[in-house]
Structure 1
Amino acid sequence: MMTILCVDDEPNILSSLRRLFRGKGYEVLTAISGAQGLELLAQQPVDLVISDMRMPEMDGARFLAQVRQRWPNTVRLLLTGYSDVQSIQDAINCGEIYRYITKPWDDNDILLIVRHALERHQLEMEKQRLEALTLKQNEELKNLNAGLEQKVEERTRQLKANFLTTIKILSSIAESRGTGQTGQTRQVADLARKMAAQLKLDGNEVQDIFIAALLHDLGRIGFSDEMLRTPMTMLQGADLAQFRKHPVYGAQLLMPLTDMGGVAAIVKHQMERFDGQGFPDRLAGFAIPIGSRILTLAIDYYNLQQGALVQRHLKPEEAKSLVMDGSGKRYDPAVVQAFRQVVDGGVRGVAESTDVELLSGELVPGMVLSRDVVSRDGLMLLASDHVLNERMIQQLQDFEKKSGHRLPIWVQRGVAGAR
């Protein structure tokens, strides 16, 4: 039920208004002065006020101005019995009245005016309610989206970290059946990544090349021990045929992983030659994926030093010289140039410029590993990007005591006290 307050210093006017509006279902309050009207408004909600203009002590314009100031959502009507234009203007300007009604009034007219005023008032209040609700819901949705985005980002980071850790574990398994020394696969991957960065490849390509380098020996898992000990240049017959198939086999193992198509292609063509004399598909020049051209050189550089390509172990400078001699034949000249710039110190890895090696006794909780922690036997104890806590630090220290060897532990600079 709508509540109407009628304010007039003439009792007969108030009686007429009370009878008129109560007959139409309104709750009607009356006051004989502006002061009394303000008291009633302070006691209970009122939807609409009708005030006479000419009243002692406080006229209608001043009264409605106070109503506007204290209860702005209450609809205001002015009742005037004379043609005082200035007084009406004051009421309009100060009280912002909805309408003014002249005495004597027509009952139907005043009822229609009041009904329209209250309908408009209800629409305005509903509009304000909906706007406030919309604002609140938008804010809640904004906070919800922010929370979801943060959770998605955290989950994505965790998945990426778990993915890379899984790749490194697979790499360690493949390396155990490879031809090089423990840790050589990581050296190959690091060199390949640096050459890719030197060639200014985009981030996704660099990542694929790094992962392919970690997994390049995956196809050798089925090789016999004798075959693994034999340098490639001495393989013959069925052994040589099996060796030449290992890149294809490694790629096939990766193909079921939908996001590893690029990595699989790099692994498959790791033994191609720039002059087209390689295998498995005898691709030549730029038909060979850039990742494979990089990986071929990185693998050969370390295999030459480990005696996997020739019958003796070459020194780094000798291996470098043979790589340089293969430019344009076995290797892409641009990749050879990038290799020379890397090994001669022309490019530094990101980790080398942003991390520091510490003793296990210098570690504190909150530090972040910048490189994998690997034992002398090639066992990966912790993956890079792990945030150290007290339990992990204690486990590293216990491992050093039992093994009798110091672990190489690299952490990010500027994190939890690392300098």
Structure 2
Amino acid sequence: MNPVISDPPVILFVDDESSILSALRRLFRPEGYRVLLAESGKAGLALLETEPVDLVVSDMRMPEMDGASLLEQVRERWPAVGRVLLTGYADIGSTVEAINRGQIHRYIAKPWDDRELLMCVRDSLERRRLDKENRALQLLTQAQNDELQALNSSLAARVKARTSELEQLNAMLETSFAELRENFLLSINVFSGLVELRGGGTAGYSRQVGDLARRIARRLNAGAMLEEDVYIAGLLHEVGKIGFPDTMLRKPLSAMASDELALYRRHTLNGEAALLPLGKLQRAARIVRSYHERIDGKGFPDALSGDEVPVGAQILSVASDYYSAQTGRLSIKRYTPAEAQSLILGGAGMRYDKSIVQAFELALNDEPSEKPQDREMQAHEVMPGMVLSRDLLSPQGTLLLAAGYTFDARVVRQLREFAGRQNVKLNVYVKLANSP
């Protein structure tokens, strides 16, 4: 697979003073951005017609067309383009008007502080990059839906219903979450639920694997980045199985024929190939590729051994095998949690590194022993300002909203409409007013 080469971000600066534009160009060119300049709102709109622009930074006070009018047109015609206002006078009324009309993301007072302006632009461009990645993940989800329909026509009705539910959830995500990172992780959770629906497996299995993998990484003091990578890899580690026949999806590993085993051994490669195009998921994709490797060299697909097996892949291997044993993925017999734990301990030094098995034992006890300080209610009782204390799941076990989300009026209305339209009972747990 050829690596994806990204073009540098493009910033358009609009100001009627050429000296200001020159100063902005000198400040931002060393940052690696492509800088476009316009001395009027009209000239700025003309550039937007012909150039791909990621962010517009406009002065407020300009002749003929002020910054508020310019950014309002940018919002209407190019809503995905970021918008920042430079204001050089203390007219709070005009600034508020610009915020309302152009829905600007930030405003900076002139004369500006170089460091503050650089940070503002970086933040705005990062928001746009994350938004692009989120839309790419949604496109990937739709593509997987189409593949499901082609592989098995008998699933068409279920896939159509699931796709409809995903569209509703994506609409909620786009309007509900202030943090794009939370939106990105929630989309992964939803896609993980779709993979489980295809396999007819236990709802929430992938989230259990991802959560345990994250706790093992935390016990190893492996750092926040690896904790997130193994969590994402846990959610998506079975994506490569999406093309398996129905009969094979429901068959334990120990009962597979030789041709089925050959197909099974390719699912990690297929999973890596599906995830690699998304920059945010490249590290998780490599973990997915190697989570069936063993430190004794008897794993697949690359027969790695010892330290050649990435730490993240070893962590995911332990977490996956622990829950696979309990859900009938490894053998016809379904292991109890104690038996599954003994299975992992028995593989220390051969299948798994001993330090990771020790961290696994500690992580099993990290689940909260006390119930959270919350109360249960139905969708029609939820009010704006309340905070979710636990993940909100659909009746099928898929994630609707993540714990910690603060309800606003729009999402409260959508939640009630969803419960009424689907005629389902949603158990919503919210934090008590005095709980941390």
- Shorter-chain TM band: 0.5 to 0.7
Deviation digits for residues 357-408 of structure 1 (CA, Å, limit 9, x no counterpart): 5423764312343553112312332244543124533554566678787545
Cα 1:239/1:187, change in 2 over 3 Å: same
1:389 lines up with 2:408 in the alignment: yes
> Conserved in 2, the CA contact under 8 Å of 1:367 and 1:418?
no
Partner of 1:234: 255
> Conserved in 1, the CA contact under 8 Å of 2:234 and 2:316?
yes
Q: What root-mean-square deviation, in Å, do the aligned CA atoms of Structure 1 and Structure 2 show?
A: 3.2
Q: Aligned partners of 1:146, 1:368: CA distance in 2, in Å? A: 30
Q: 202-211 or 153-162: which moved more?
A: 153-162
Q: Aligned partners of 2:427, 2:356: CA distance in 1, in Å? A: 30
Deviation digits for residues 259-285 of structure 1 (CA, Å, limit 9, x no counterpart): 322111100011111211111111112
> Deviation of residue 170 (structure 1)?
1.9
- 1:359 pairs, out of 373, 377, 382, with 377
> Conserved in 2, the CA contact under 8 Å of 1:211 and 1:263?
yes
Partner of 1:95: none
Partner of 1:379: 398
Partner of 1:256: 277
> Conserved in 1, the CA contact under 8 Å of 2:345 and 2:357?
yes
Partner of 1:176: 197
Q: Aligned partners of 1:418, 1:269: CA distance in 2, in Å? A: 41
> Conserved in 1, the CA contact under 8 Å of 2:272 and 2:289?
yes
Partner of 1:219: 240
1:317 lines up with 2:335 in the alignment: no
Partner of 2:106: none
Q: Which amino acid aligns with 1:321?
A: S
Q: Aligned partners of 2:397, 2:266: CA distance in 1, in Å? A: 27
Partner of 1:27: none
- 1:333 pairs, out of 342, 350, 354, with 354
Q: Aligned partners of 1:353, 1:275: CA distance in 2, in Å? A: 41
> Conserved in 2, the CA contact under 8 Å of 1:357 and 1:408?
no
The equivalences for 1:25-104 within 5 A come to: none
Q: 291-300 or 381-390: which moved more?
A: 381-390
Partner of 2:323: 302
Q: Aligned partners of 1:200, 1:399: CA distance in 2, in Å? A: 41
> Deviation of residue 335 (structure 1)?
1.2
Cα 1:286/1:225, change in 2 over 3 Å: same
Cα 1:143/1:327, change in 2 over 3 Å: closer
Structure (1 or 2) with the larger CA radius of gyration: 1
Cα 1:163/1:394, change in 2 over 3 Å: closer
Residue 299 of structure 1: SS of its match in structure 2?
helix
Residue 400 of structure 2: SS of its match in structure 1?
strand
Q: What 5-or-longer segments of structure 1 have no aligned partner? A: 1-135
Q: Aligned partners of 2:119, 2:363: CA distance in 1, in Å? A: 42
1:209 lines up with 2:230 in the alignment: yes
> Deviation of residue 237 (structure 1)?
1.8
Cα 1:410/1:255, change in 2 over 3 Å: same
Q: Aligned partners of 1:379, 1:205: CA distance in 2, in Å? A: 25
Residue 260 of structure 1: SS of its match in structure 2?
helix
> Conserved in 1, the CA contact under 8 Å of 2:199 and 2:250?
no
> Deviation of residue 317 (structure 1)?
1.0
Q: What 5-or-longer segments of structure 2 have no aligned partner? A: 1-108, 131-177
Q: Aligned partners of 2:375, 2:264: CA distance in 1, in Å? A: 39
Partner of 1:46: none
Cα 1:194/1:408, change in 2 over 3 Å: farther
Count of aligned residue pairs for this structure pair: 279
Cα 1:202/1:407, change in 2 over 3 Å: same
> Deviation of residue 316 (structure 1)?
0.9
Q: Which amino acid aligns with 2:269?
A: V
Residue 265 of structure 2: SS of its match in structure 1?
helix
Q: Aligned partners of 2:267, 2:373: CA distance in 1, in Å? A: 36
Please give the TM-score of this superposition, normalised by the length of structure 2: 0.56
Partner of 2:220: 199
Q: Aligned partners of 2:126, 2:372: CA distance in 1, in Å? A: 24
Partner of 2:314: 293
Residue 292 of structure 1: SS of its match in structure 2?
helix
> Conserved in 2, the CA contact under 8 Å of 1:370 and 1:385?
yes
Q: Which amino acid aligns with 1:188?
A: V
> Conserved in 2, the CA contact under 8 Å of 1:179 and 1:308?
no
> Conserved in 2, the CA contact under 8 Å of 1:180 and 1:303?
no
Partner of 1:186: 207
Please give the TM-score of this superposition, normalised by the length of structure 1: 0.59
Partner of 1:71: none
Identity fraction in percent = 38
Q: Aligned partners of 1:184, 1:224: CA distance in 2, in Å? A: 20
Q: Aligned partners of 2:195, 2:362: CA distance in 1, in Å? A: 29
> Deviation of residue 236 (structure 1)?
1.6
Q: Aligned partners of 1:224, 1:301: CA distance in 2, in Å? A: 24
Cα 1:333/1:242, change in 2 over 3 Å: same
